[in-house]
Amino acid sequence: MAQWTSAVGAAQLARLLKSQQDRPAGPGARRPPAYRALADGIRLLVLEGRVPVAARLPAERELALSLSVSRTTVAAAYEALRGEGFLESRRGAGSWTAVPAGNPVPARGLEPLPPEALGSMIDLGCAALPAPEPWLTRAVQGALEELPPYAHTHGDYPAGLPALRSMIAERYTERGIPTMPEQIMVTTGAMGAIDAICHLFGGRGERIAVESPSYANILQLMREAGARLVPVAMAEGLSGWDMDRWRQVLRDAAPRIAYVVADFHNPTGALADEDQRRRLVDSARSAGTVLIADETMTELWLDEVRMPRPVCAFDPAGSTVITVGSASKAFWAGMRIGWVRAAPDVIRSLVAARAYADLGTPVLEQLAVNWLFGTGGWEQAVQMRREQARSNRDELVAAVRRELPGWEFEVPQGGLTLWVRTGGLSGSRLAEAGERVGVRVPSGPRFGVDGAFEGYVRLPFTVGGAVAEEAAVRLAAAAGLVESGGVGGGEAPRTFVA
């Protein structure tokens, strides 16, 4: 059986390679042989994630015609890529992209920084802000007042507290998506929700289509569940989703599940428009794929933007889309309350399976979120969160542009993250150098499949003011270490795998 899970057409690959030619070369750069330039171009597309790992490349003759080069040039480029481990081939099956075994993707960068290290290290690893006080304290106090009746019960509510399920359903209805409490299950954060969905629909060895790049912790959760991840490359900048590419992957790979973050995508910050959402749902329905729509960032718009309808609005029958929400991003990461919105039969199956997982979600935290929803405290707390994130974003952007003018990014209108191309520097080495100079940053490969995005880092809007300025200064120092060969030494790494 072929080892590729998607395909890249000759015309599409030629367009992607052409976009690289528009980038200015460095001073004194020599022009490499044509085959070497082609091999390097394809390798860079793989490492940046613009061509997924395990994507079938066009035949030599087809690509030669599209590029207007000789077939010998393409053959030599493919042979060079095979020798470097970036291409695998099998007679009769063609050639597909790969990333060679080598330096592992750094394990550091997304886990919470130990409290004792906060004084000396600027933490840009986690996209999470401090709690919006006084609303956390008020919510807990309100929850304690509501707790006594529940304390006289067993405390196990596998589907969630009925009051909170009704409140969440009502909030969807107010957004124009009629929803019953029977369509809601409360979970332990969004991670708990997605873990439950993956175990119900995606057994070991099942294919799951994911954006490339995507949220690192979810990718790792799916890997550990034994899924076969099928990356679907995002378009350049904030335009986000390439619907033709999604339709092709869903049709050809027939994944059981697809996972998307359509609202201020993590890590790129892209926002899918209504046409993209409609076409994505139509493609998933045609392929028989269950579409998980992660809405954890949906309320974190930072600029005046007309928000599209939710992804589930384009699935009125509820047969295709399962929506996941959470209090952890919009309110506080320590509030581990998430939820699933799906058809009632799906919710019943998820609840039944939960008896063998975590039984239920903590009652006190559910009561706290219910208090926030019911009193208007949620809206005020989220508004506070938006103002803080907006200020942090603007200050961090200004500092990075000043200290690192060669780094490239587009400023998103919402969310909590900036996806930054590092001017050709290794993201893994930048993460390592950052630890030395006192700034913690996750490298791009954490957000890709099989080591893509080596030329990126993710910067969250978690610091502002003087701390943002110092973070940029330390990042510039880390970049200087990498450029001088002070990290790792020798040639820049070319091998990156999870």
Of the candidates 262, 212, 207, 254, which has an alpha carbon nearest to the alpha carbon of residue 233? 212
Mark 28-61 as b/e (b = at least 16 C-beta within 10 Å): eeeeeebbebbbbbbbbbbbbbbbbbbbbbbebe
Phi, psi of 2 (to 5 degrees): -65, 150
DSSP state of 463: -
Provide the CB-side half-sphere exposure for 315 (13 A, CA): 27
In this prediction, residue 486 carries a pLDDT of 66
How high is the pLDDT of residue 336?
93
Say how far apart CA 181 and CA 473 lie, in whole Å. 50
Neighbours of 450 (CB within 10 A): 20
Tokens standing for residue 4: 């590729």
State the burial class of residue 257 (Cβ atoms within 10 Å of its Cβ: 0-12, 13-18, 19+). buried
Q: Is 422 exposed, middle or buried (0-12, 13-18, 19+ CB in 10 A)?
A: buried
State the pLDDT at residue 119: 67
Amino acid in the structure at residue 58 = P
Residues of the chain with pLDDT under 50: 1, 22-29, 103-109, 488-498
The angle that helices 344-354 and 189-201 make with each other, rounded to 10 degrees, is 100
pLDDT of the residue at 451: 67
Closest by Cα among 202, 190, 265 to 228: 202
> What is the token pair recorded at 20?
């690289």
pLDDT at 48: 65
